[in-house]
């Protein structure tokens, strides 16, 4: 399925909500993130909302979502592919600017780091077309 498509987003939501590791890592947290592909031909973004160990929603990001989210993380299609196939570590990608924090800061993201790791772990399990 296509990266950040409606089907991909729903699959991620299902994987996160069935993951005991994600539930444990995200217990007590309330946060949201927009993941975005920044390419000339495509500027696809998804909004993911988390509450107390559960993924409440994962869908196309609206302008309101972009305003209200705590974090916007964007990368090129190639960088997303490298991240989701395990060729690139998410924290290393942030440090080398292959994964860019467009909204929020690395320090603020640190309190969600275990949940973010589990998010990437779940996303890696999705068969994805880039």
Residue labelled with tokens 């305003």: 67
Residue labelled with tokens 């539930």: 23
Q: Which residues, 6 or more positions from 13, have their beta carbon under 8 angstroms from its beta carbon? A: 48, 55, 57, 58
User: Domain extents for the chain?
Assistant: 6-121
Report the mean per-residue pLDDT for the chain: 92
pLDDT per residue as tens digits for the range 47-78: 999 999 999 999 999 999 999 999 999 999 99
* Gap between the Cα atoms of 130 and 127, Å rounded: 10
**Residue 129 pLDDT:** 93
pLDDT per residue as tens digits for the range 7-55: 999 999 999 999 999 999 999 989 999 999 987 566 799 999 999 999 9
The 3-state DSSP class for residue 104 equals coil
Query: How many other CB atoms sit within 10 Å of the CB of residue 62?
Result: 12
CATH topology of domain 6-121: Nonspecific Lipid-transfer Protein; Chain A (3.30.1050)
pLDDT per residue as tens digits for the range 82-113: 999 999 988 788 889 999 989 998 888 888 88
Contact by Cβ (8 Å): 121, 24: no
DSSP class of 61: P
């Amino acid at each position: 399925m296509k990266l950040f498509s409606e089907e991909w987003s729903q699959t991620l939501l299902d994987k996160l909500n069935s993951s005991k590791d994600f539930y444990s890592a995200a217990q007590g947290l309330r946060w949201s993130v927009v993941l975005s592909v920044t390419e000339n031909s495509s500027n696809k973004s998804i909004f993911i909302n988390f509450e107390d160990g559960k993924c409440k929603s994962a869908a196309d990001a609206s302008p309101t979502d972009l305003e209200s989210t705590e974090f916007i993380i964007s990368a090129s299609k190639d960088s997303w592919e490298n991240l989701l196939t395990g060729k690139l570590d998410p924290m290393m990608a942030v440090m080398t600017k292959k994964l860019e924090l467009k909204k929020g800061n690395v320090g603020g993201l640190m309190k969600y780091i275990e949940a973010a790791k589990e998010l990437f772990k779940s996303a890696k399990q999705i068969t994805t077309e880039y």
